[in-house]
Amino acid sequence: MTKDAQVEQRMKEQSYTQQQQKSFQVVLVDIQRAATDWEIHCVEKPLDAHDLQFVALSYRWGELEETMVDTEVGYIASITSFLLQDFFRLCQWITMETDLRHLQYLWVDAICVDQTNYERRKSTIYQMSNIYEKATYILAVPDLHLKYLRNISTDNHELINSSALYWKEIYFLIHGQIDAFLALESARLDEYKVPKDATTRHLLKTYTDYLTDGMTTYREHRYRYNPEEALDHLFEISQASSSSSVPHLDSSGDMTSSNLHDQPSQADPTPPTTTNSSNDVFMEQFGRWHRCDKKEACPLTLFHSEEHLYSFEDGSDDFMAADRSGNNRQWKQQIDERSRRIRQSMAFLGDLIIDWSSRVWVISEYSIAKRKQKSSLKYWFLQLDPEKDYGLGGLRFFEFKFDDPSFSAIQQTRTSSRLVGMPDTATSDPVALKFHQTLIGQLNDQPFLEMMLKSKASKNEDRFYAVFPLTTKYKHMITDKTLVASWQIHTMASVKLKLYELMDTKDKLNLLYLTGNYYTRRGDMILPTFATPTLCWYVPTEYLVGQHKGNQQHEPCNFDLDDPSTLQLFINKNNNSSSSDSDDGLLYHLNVKPMEYYLASKPPQRVDYVKRKKATVCKRLDLDVNMDMLDVVCIPAFGDMVMKAHANDDDDEDWSSHAICLVGSMEKNKWVLSAIHPDDFVPEEGAPGWTHHHCDKSTHTGFNIY
């Protein structure tokens, strides 16, 4: 196609897209009617109307009994994704939300897409990207299918109840309003009748993880630290102090009265000075204030990874034999329950974020939100159930700002111990920090192949509708609402085969090396071997092929990325179609042309697997398992750097993902991807393991991989 013809084709495609968008009537739900009257009332509006304002919902579908709704725009909506009452409650909160309450309309696919009319459904799906781009706000509700979540398990039901009970704490944690969280926490402690003296509350804050610091910051403890034992112990000494003259901290943090006993024991160890200057006064007198008969078994001594109170040997058996107090579960039980339920709810919300954000349409939706002028995404959880008198100074949904400069620091903050085998209690559990790390990790930019293949989709053809419009180099390929349907995309293998046909050379090679990854689960060897294995996402796909920076040097790619013939997909009629490996009677193969490759001097014993277990595969490739000698070829992504790394046993980088191994016949040029690793072949003494070969571009025909 000439350049002029290409320009003309692009103009036709652009004109077609603009015509489709101009004529498209989008169905919207009236928010006020839903919020006040609890009824669905829909209207149709031109999508290209300049004054059109609405919020578009992003969520995942559930599986509930069908609810029929008359949209009043010519069709009956069948809703199985969420409970209608939950949708009405969401509309009520939208009318109270500071940024959204002025909006009149809402778009949600379960109601606004005519699922019964194939043509109207296809037209709307084709316009999905335009709908989210046109939306004033995109609101994510990862638990809109709340009723379905409750029905799954009793545990889910309890978690959702916990979120409703402690919704204010969770609200402040996610918003990062720590002062408000502290004030609410103080009120909770008063409600639980925790002693109000500053000393007891200081100990609770400093030597347990049940309160704010334990939920928001990472702290390490001695490996035998037991949080329940520490809380029990603080309860015991606070109870004992209620009838004694004890020291306490005044509002300034200074010690006053300091006689627990008339005469301090001379045998008491002298507490060391801490490195935390804000606690110097407290720590200097802690030994005289904190008097208990547990001696070395005192659980508070294990809170810090370095002993801040007493020095004793880790091997002491006293701690393990210490008497656990379980009879006085009063305010300590309420503190423990509050902490546990908030943590479980926060972890549950994080899991919902992962489940929601892994859907292919959701990836499209939050990617569009990132491109919008505000570069932010609103999100909310139905299980956080604010009362009408919520006292928050105006309800604010959570907001994820894609360009937030603090993300880098949050992602680099530790949230768990690096030591293997450490118990969970050896560190704090900063659930607020973990939640935001999950959110950032899930909503960050993803490489094209990960969006296409790592995501979840109810229909595999949706992957093309959802992801292709997000990319500059592929969005022009979806020019017609019926085009993708004509491709007959039903399985993941068919998705990959179509990608090999449509993508540029670099992306094709990335997919090939992702599939040929040593860690990829192949199971039975099913043709085509470059499309059927279950992928293992061991490394990001963009890391596989191209200019790689290894050992502080840029390693050149082993392929000509500018030449379309470097990797090409071919389809042949299968002459031996008796095998069940192919359901269409076709034999697909890739022709791959590297600049250099390695040939095994003596094939490893693992090659016998092909002969013994996969005679049918060999038959389809016209390979005689009894006569043909099978060869092994290794094709590195970055030339000889990969093989040198293996030869030198270089542990600085894992090069396993940067090489593919083929098993087949050099004479017949027929190959399959194999799970053989370059290290699997141990040559005989004095013999080279691999022989290095360079390819003459003018004469080398490449490798045909089936």
Mean residue pLDDT across the chain: 81
pLDDT tens-digit map of 151-168: 999 999 999 999 999 999
Please measure the distance between the N-terminal and C-terminal CA atoms of the chain and give it in whole angstroms: 30
pLDDT, greater one: 133 or 16? 133
- What pLDDT is recorded for position 199? 84
Lowest-confidence range among 24-33, 299-308, 470-479? Answer: 299-308
In this prediction, residues 67-85 reach a mean pLDDT of 96
- What pLDDT is recorded for position 59? 97
Read off the pLDDT band of 259 (50, 70, 90).
very low
In the predicted structure, residue 585 carries a pLDDT above the cut 90: no
In this prediction, residues 335-359 reach a mean pLDDT of 97
In the predicted structure, residue 583 carries a pLDDT above the cut 60: no
> Is 670 within 8 Å of 664 (Cβ atoms)?
yes
pLDDT tens-digit map of 646-662: 555 554 455 667 889 99
In the predicted structure, residue 336 carries a pLDDT above the cut 60: yes
* CA-based nearest residue to 520, from 507, 504, 536, 540: 536
In the predicted structure, residue 176 carries a pLDDT above the cut 70: yes
In the predicted structure, residue 564 carries a pLDDT above the cut 90: yes
In this prediction, residues 24-49 reach a mean pLDDT of 97
In this prediction, residues 279-305 reach a mean pLDDT of 57
Residues 6+ apart with CB under 8 A from 220: 304, 305, 417, 426, 427, 428
Q: 580 is written with which tokens?
A: 């069940």
- Ramachandran region, residue 693 (left: φ > 0; alpha: ψ -120 to 50; beta: rest): beta
Read off the pLDDT band of 523 (50, 70, 90).
low
Lowest-confidence range among 103-107, 373-377, 642-646? Answer: 642-646
- What pLDDT is recorded for position 545? 74
Lowest-confidence range among 74-88, 172-186, 331-345, 518-532? Answer: 518-532
- What pLDDT is recorded for position 652? 47
Q: What percent of the chain has pLDDT over 70?
A: 72
> What is the C-alpha separation between 167 and 159, in angstroms, rounded?
12
- What pLDDT is recorded for position 15? 46
Read off the pLDDT band of 296 (50, 70, 90).
low
In this prediction, residues 376-397 reach a mean pLDDT of 82
pLDDT tens-digit map of 180-220: 999 999 999 999 999 988 888 988 998 899 999 999 999 88
Pairing of strands 659-665, 631-636: antiparallel
> What is the C-alpha separation between 385 and 286, in angstroms, rounded?
43
> Is 614 within 8 Å of 664 (Cβ atoms)?
no
- What pLDDT is recorded for position 549? 52
> Is 611 within 8 Å of 660 (Cβ atoms)?
no
Q: 376 is written with which tokens?
A: 């932010």
> Is 216 within 8 Å of 415 (Cβ atoms)?
no
pLDDT, greater one: 595 or 18? 595
* 122-126, 341-345, 624-628: which is most confident: 341-345
Lowest-confidence range among 41-55, 441-455, 482-496, 665-679? Answer: 665-679
Pairing of strands 76-79, 67-70: antiparallel
> Is 194 within 8 Å of 201 (Cβ atoms)?
yes
Lowest-confidence range among 311-325, 565-579, 601-615, 683-697? Answer: 311-325
- DSSP bridge partners of 233: none
In the predicted structure, residue 33 carries a pLDDT above the cut 70: yes
- What pLDDT is recorded for position 312? 36
- What pLDDT is recorded for position 330? 82
